[in-house]
Structure 1
């Protein structure tokens, strides 16, 4: 049974206007996270995964996934929202395309688990973040394997292994932030 997301509990998120603002705001947060990046080949390290995870955990499955889709459409239309200010369809079809499309799954899974009450405590939120990360890495690594000619082990070594420690830190940050937001919301309500 679905429970309220953090967004719904704090601002309502029932009206079309609030939903549209949540989607646009979420896509902006993801775009900002993409600009904080360390160039690595073939996949840059950025704060996108933290941003996507936070959007999914706070907005829920549908709005979180919609925010990522809006972000991808913005980038495809030429807005410089991808890592390093990149834009255009070639980015979506290049080696990192599977990770970009995997962000949709990541946000959806994080939001789905949050809607089921899993993102209320630090441990549950961290587990939700870990499961959502799997939803990102599977399409990302498989796409990288196909797009670059790397074998599966090479794709894992280039597109997953270097990011695991950073992603663990991002999951911990997301778990602390979301749990803290729920605590603050509860104490504000009395």
Structure 2
């Protein structure tokens, strides 16, 4: 495969996973401050399948598309005000979470147990970014920020990390068999 085809494939993969994240964002359970959404499941899937570099680029694309106003965030919302608002820390955290999740897998092995460890670590990063922004934007105490921005999401976050790991490893292996992804660590 020539270099241009390889670059095009990477761009398509990043765009595709940004779109998947936008679709998963619309699966939500409303809560007072921060809804439970499918975005974090999509972040875990993306990082488990694509690895650190392409996974984080996909999340940068997702955040950028939403920041310019496309309604890709939870509840069909979009705009820079969402990223600057109380829940924007989670979206920013998606980039770091995708990078960390993929990085852990690239430094170890793409297996289900390691994917679970990596996805739980990514979930913690997302929740940390979210809690910090909730505290700052809403001028909450740390106790309140953790109570509304972290604790309600721990159990469901672990469940989503587990689901992202199972599906991500299966899809990754299928893409490798189809020669759409290199076995090493990065997409072709």
State the TM-score, normalized to the length of structure 1.
Answer: 0.86
CA distance in 2, matches of 1:116, 1:175: 16
Compared CA separation, residues 180 and 91, structure 1 to 2 (3 A): same
Aligned mate of 1:159, from 127, 149, 152: 149
CA distance in 1, matches of 2:75, 2:173: 35
The alignment yields a C-alpha RMSD, in angstroms, of 2.0
* 1:150 partnered with 2:140: yes
Greater mean deviation of Cα atoms: 174-183 or 65-74:
174-183
Identify the residue that residue 131 of structure 1 maps to in structure 2. Answer: 121
CA distance in 2, matches of 1:61, 1:182: 14
Whether the aligned pair in 2 keeps the contact of 1:119 and 1:178 (CA below 8 Å) is no
* 1:63 partnered with 2:54: yes
Identify the residue that residue 41 of structure 1 maps to in structure 2. Answer: 32
Gaps of 5+ in 1: 1-13
Identify the residue that residue 72 of structure 2 maps to in structure 1. Answer: 81
For residue 187 of structure 1, report the CA deviation from its aligned partner.
7.8
Aligned mate of 2:84, from 81, 93, 105: 93
* 1:169 partnered with 2:169: no
CA distance in 2, matches of 1:39, 1:80: 17
Gaps of 5+ in 2: 180-188
CA distance in 2, matches of 1:119, 1:161: 29
CA distance in 1, matches of 2:172, 2:44: 16
For residue 132 of structure 1, report the CA deviation from its aligned partner.
1.2
Whether the aligned pair in 2 keeps the contact of 1:31 and 1:82 (CA below 8 Å) is yes
CA deviation string 1:148-184 (max 9, x = no partner)? 1110110111011111111111111112213334565
CA distance in 1, matches of 2:70, 2:45: 22
Compared CA separation, residues 184 and 104, structure 1 to 2 (3 A): closer
Whether the aligned pair in 1 keeps the contact of 2:93 and 2:125 (CA below 8 Å) is yes
State the TM-score, normalized to the length of structure 2.
Answer: 0.86
Aligned mate of 2:100, from 109, 133, 144: 109
